[in-house]
A and B are shown apart, each in its own frame.
Chain A
Amino acid sequence: MPPPAAERRFGGLIDRRLSARVALTRRYLVLAVSVGVAATACVVAQAVLLATIIERVVLHRATLGAVRPEIIALGLTFGARAALGWLGEVAAQRTSATVTSVLRRQLLRHALDLGPGWLAGERAGELSLTATRGTAALDTYFGRYLPVAVLAGLAPLGILAWVAYTDWVSSLILVGMIALVPIAMIFFGREATKRTRRQWRRLSSLSARFLELIQGLPTLRAFGRGDQGRREVAAATEGLRQTTMGTLRVAFLSALAMEFLAGIGVGLVAMVLGLRLLGGTISLYTALAVLLVSPEVFLPLRRAGAEFHASTEGQAAAERILSVLDQPVDKRTRREGVAPRSATPIVLANIAVTYPGRDTPALEPLDMTLESGEHVALVGPSGAGKSTTLAVLLGFVAPTTGTVTIGGVDLEGMSLSQWRRSLAWVPQRPYLFSGTIAENLAIGDPGADTAMLRHAAELAGLGELIDQLPRGLDTVVGDGGLPLSAGERQRLAIARVVVRDAPVVLLDEPAAHLDAHTESTLSHSLAPWFEGRTVVVAAHRSELVQRIDRVIHLGQLQEAST
């Protein structure tokens, strides 16, 4: 599908922006151009040699011995072309492997620097697609499209220049045909875009239909409509065929035009050469040499046209990656800054948060002081800012107004990674990493031994579950492994916090997926562990933390003691 003109103009810009990020791109482009120029020279040399040999044999009855130097030279040009082709291919593939790998790294590091606040919502999923499928598209762009595109820009010009020097009449014919290429492309391209756009809705709904029916199979079966589904799969695919064929008939016209012009170009050149030979105005050598190079004028263009899809996909991917890399990072970075002197007291002074692009604040101004060993509950309706308060404490979100001080030091100048060493957190939706239960627990402390992990799992009420599993702590969970329920995930997150053994513990709705019985069992087993730690629990209602010293009501701007 030809992209709009604006997108195409962007192409050069993207290469420039990419080469600013990855120095290798520039070197590669220089190499690709040099290889392209040299290969074109070889093509011309071949034509010259072939024409010379044939003319001498045909007109002057030269023997093999007489044309031996030319034949050897001809063999050498093929050798040179092979070497150049090898060089170009290897350079292209190696560059693409390196560029995509470097970009993926920059992308991931930058995403982490932008932080969870930025990654929230759909973005993480979208970005993982960009970092995997997107970089794969870039790979194709660099490895396949760019080399032919460079050649398509250079080879026809070089060859045409030589043809013009050798036989200006033929060069006029070829230039005429080449000049028609963009006109035909624009004409048919526009028609194809129009047609595709008209059919797009129908196409996308037909292609989505199959997945929809497959995913809806449980429902179809529950209502005894499996057969109807089968009929609809067949009907939707047949509809897809008819609609797609309708658009392809037009879409392939631009390729048809390109090939047509190439064919006519060569045909016309041959005819005119033949007629002029009859008249004796040119030599057989000239005719043969020009004839031999004429198809080569069109070949690179046709190849580039065939890789057109790779180019649009690659450019779209590059655009997405660059737009992430161009996002400015919050002035607080992960590593730099002073270390906290002590983890408490934690003082939130007049903290308020309004997320960019929102009208209403996520957290109304809040004053809160946490003394060492204190257990504080944050309560309030959903949307009152409980999770946001924890996000501020974690350094995920910078407060819009107000300051946070930790042991008397402003959080703003502090190294977040050092501060987070004092923290342990149970997120509302803990993420399950693909790996074993032990590996998931060791997120809390990579140095923890098995006994520690086991102890933590027991405290969090996972002992029984782990005992049931043949491989125990080494059972693989997450994608493709043992599915864990939301409650089990939550307990895993609690166990991870125990492994962490940090002085400040932040719990975000830690019992949302636990039934009352489990919750009360856990609160008993965890009570001694919570003693001596500073605990903040955000919850509608929770008995997980037995001793609560203070309850802070959010959304009502008041503080009550129990």
Chain B
Amino acid sequence: MSTVAVLRRLLRLSAPPWGRLTVAVLAGVAAAMATIGLLAGSGYLVSKAAFRPGLGAIAGLLAGVEVLAFVRAPLRYKERLAAHDAAFRALTHWRVWLYDQLEPRSPAGLGPWRSGDLLSRAVDDVDALQDLYLRGLVPLVVALAASAIAVVVVGLVLPAAALVLGLSLLVALVVPPVIAALTSPGRGREAVVRGAVGAEVVDLLQGAPDLLAFGCEDQFLEQLESADDELARLARRRALAAGLTSALLTLLIGAAVVGVLVVGIEAVRTHRLSPVMLAVLPLAAIAAFESVPAVTAAASRLGDVVAAGRRLLALEGIPIPVVDPDRPEPLPEGCPTVALREARLRYADDLPWALDGVTFELAPGSRTAVIGASGAGKSSLVNVLLAFWPLSEGQATLGGVPLERLAQDDTRRAIALVDQEARLFAGTIGQNITLGRPAASALDVDEAVRQAQLRSWVDTLPEGLATPVGEQGARVSGGQRQRIALARALVAGGAVLVLDEPTAGLDDTTADRLLADVMAAGGTHTVLLVTHHQRETDGFDTVIVLDRGRVVSLDDPYRRVGVRIRR
């Protein structure tokens, strides 16, 4: 995607807050004009006063200069506030856009984006977009407008001087930003090396025990140091460019000042310019250059914005794994049977099968446990049942209806999930419990709280269910968090409960107690427990052992309740 295309797309997505942007730009231009007016006006004032024309002749000028001196700072203040406000308004749209990109692809369709690191980087990237207006377009437009106006004003005094000033401003507005953009640290080799150094630092520090034990630390340090050397070398080379830019700007100011002065002196000699106006020219030139350095900064900011935007826009290219059918079938009534027949799934054509011919049936009210090591296909099973990812081959049915013919939300209404290390959201315990059904009656909530064995704990809290759980449930212990997740699944009202490693991260005693309560709370629900602990499968009707996506063993006790396996 070209830079212009990225910028255009980002602009469109932000629903540009034109009102604030206009205020910001107008205030910025007015402030720049005030600066020019203050300096050039003072130059004119003292030149005129030097001829001692009497106070009356310069009173208006004096007042004008003082007014400009007073208004400049408030104008800048207004510009800053309006630009920030615009940036935040745009941010809302960008963030909602990002959410909309991630939502239909989450969790299975995000591939590597699923990792917490990439997600938080996406959030950083989206926040970096603020600079598109704040440190990018607003200062750019202000500088361009202020330069243009300065040239026009000088032109009214002496056209030849305007030509000199215009030319030097033109070069100053174009060349340094181009140099800055070409040598920006976010580009090319330096960005690559910087990334490599970062990754090696993480490896070195987090893998330090392994490296030290195997005596490899020096080898790694040397590797890192040679990458670091290259980084420093590249940075030093960039320093030359940065120095060049700043020197070039000074030279251009010099050219403008000397140029307008020479043209002005000549004009005074030929009586095309009144001598008292001479001082206006160099002073206006100096002031006109004041907003120019912001353009260079804006150019490199915009470079960063485009890089962040490009990474984010790549999200649009990731296919959405599950799309609702045009005319979804209604959800079967009552407690439906869940069945998988010869189910095969892989996440990409060049990846191994995550599920490789899995067949089983969960009869209403049955208790089934799936065990297997990590990577055996347990989470893929959960992905299929919750309609997060479609089967590549075979069939998954709910009450006899293939999942792909149901609306995703209907499937998820029938199948409630207690997820691994359940995620709670900032809010109260009650709000977290009613996440799936905000309209749940107090009676239903009470019942779920009782079944999840939360009652006695909740009763000890002064604010009861209205107690905040803290950010990401930080103020709730692991066991309580899983119980809240259980109550949440119960309130949601699905007939099938899928428990995805609900005891991960809990100590044995807490885990055992939680599972016993799950079994009791399950009641008439169909329960599917996914776990990697053999110990936790006691009391289940059926135990399915998964390995590399296949069912390798089936412990199907004679007490089984309506679970039939075909192989």
Contacts and interface: CB of A to CB of B under 8 A. Distances in A.
Contacts of A252: 77, 80-81
A287 B41 CA distance: 13
A260 B84 CA distance: 20
B96 to A, nearest CB: 5
A522 to B, nearest CB: 13
B208 interface: yes
Interface string A32-67: 000000000000000000100110011101111001
Interface stretch (B100-108, B304-312, B441-449, B522-530): B100-108
Nearest to B117: A479
Contacts, number: 412
A101 B96 contact: no
B55 A101 contact: no
B203 to A, nearest CB: 5
Contacts of A479: 117, 199, 202
Interface string B302-328: 000000000000000000000000000
B425 A86 contact: no
Contacts of B106: 217-218, 221
Contact of B350 (A295, A470, A488): A470
Interface stretch (A243-251, A352-360, A531-539): A243-251
Contacts of B477: none
A435 B372 CA distance: 27
Contacts of B34: 263
B99 A214 contact: yes
Interface in A177-232: 205, 208-226, 228-230
B462 interface: no
Contacts of B243: 85-90, 93
A204 B205 CA distance: 29
B70 A267 contact: yes
A267 B374 contact: no
B419 A82 contact: no
Contacts of B412: 221-224
Interface in A241-275: 241, 244-245, 248-249, 252-253, 255-257, 259-260, 262-264, 266-268, 270-271, 273-275
Interface in B363-379: 372-375
Nearest to A500: B214
Nearest to B552: A517
Contact of A119 (B205, B253, B258, B269): B205
B213 A79 contact: no
B258 to A, nearest CB: 5
Contact of A54 (B91, B122, B253, B278): B278
B459 to A, nearest CB: 26
Q: How large is the interface on B (under 10, 10 to 19, 20 to 34, 35 or more residues)?
A: 35 or more
B414 to A, nearest CB: 11
A270 B70 CA distance: 13
B206 A125 contact: yes
Nearest to A230: B99
Q: How large is the interface on A (under 10, 10 to 19, 20 to 34, 35 or more residues)?
A: 35 or more
Interface string A85-100: 1111110111011101
B50 to A, nearest CB: 4
B242 A124 contact: no
B42 A291 contact: yes
B153 interface: no
Contact of A274 (B49, B209, B386, B438): B49
B246 A89 contact: yes
A62 B242 CA distance: 40
Interface in A136-170: 139
A contacts with B: majority SS: helix
B38 A266 contact: yes
A392 B100 CA distance: 52
B238 A93 contact: yes
Nearest to A479: B199
Interface in A401-436: 417, 420-421, 423-425, 427, 430-431, 433-434
A104 interface: yes
B343 to A, nearest CB: 20
B201 A215 contact: no
A225 B436 contact: yes
A82 B95 contact: no
A280 interface: yes
Nearest to A382: B507
A132 B92 contact: no
B84 A259 contact: no
A71 B42 contact: no
Contacts of B5: none
B231 to A, nearest CB: 7
A308 interface: no
Given A211-B123, A230-B103, A224 B242 contact: no
Contacts of A443: 210-211, 214, 216
Interface string A296-309: 00000000000000
B58 A396 contact: no
Nearest to A442: B216
A78 B251 contact: yes
B278 A223 contact: no
Contacts of B39: 266, 295
Nearest to A470: B350
Interface string B415-442: 0110100110110000000011010000
Interface string A487-517: 1100000001000100000000000011110
A267 B38 contact: yes
B43 A291 contact: yes
B258 A241 contact: no
B350 to A, nearest CB: 7
Contact of A427 (B117, B209, B413): B209
Interface stretch (B159-167, B259-267, B397-405, B554-562): B259-267
A181 to B, nearest CB: 13
Contact of A496 (B65, B214, B246, B373): B214
Contact of A446 (B72, B201, B219, B249): B219
Given A50-B282, A274-B58, A284 B50 contact: yes
Nearest to B54: A278
A230 B408 CA distance: 17
B225 interface: yes
B3 interface: no
Given A53-B261, A85-B243, A221-B412, A431 B206 contact: yes
A105 B49 contact: no
Contact of A237 (B52, B88, B116): B88
A74 B260 CA distance: 13
Contacts of B205: 108, 111, 119, 124-125, 127-128, 131
A278 B49 contact: yes
Contacts of A245: 81, 84-85, 88
A1 interface: no
22 contacts: A50-B261, A85-B247, A97-B236, A109-B221, A128-B198, A237-B96, A241-B85, A245-B81, A249-B81, A252-B80, A255-B76, A256-B74, A256-B76, A270-B46, A271-B65, A275-B62, A277-B52, A394-B213, A431-B209, A443-B216, A487-B373, A514-B373
Interface of A: 50, 53-54, 57-59, 61-64, 67, 71, 74-75, 77-79, 81-83, 85-90, 92-94, 96-98, 100-101, 104-105, 108-109, 111-112, 115-116, 119, 124-125, 127-128, 131-132, 139, 205, 208-226, 228-230, 233-234, 237-238, 240-241, 244-245, 248-249, 252-253, 255-257, 259-260, 262-264, 266-268, 270-271, 273-275, 277-278, 280, 283-284, 287-288, 291-292, 295, 334, 394, 396, 417, 420-421, 423-425, 427, 430-431, 433-434, 443-444, 446, 468, 470, 479-480, 484-488, 496, 500, 513-516, 518
Given A58-B279, A256-B77, A516-B534, 16 more contacts: A81-B254, A96-B235, A97-B239, A131-B201, A205-B426, A211-B119, A212-B426, A224-B412, A237-B91, A267-B66, A267-B70, A274-B61, A284-B47, A287-B46, A288-B279, A292-B283
Closest 6 interchain pairs by CB? A78-B254, A267-B69, A93-B239, A485-B374, A241-B88, A97-B235
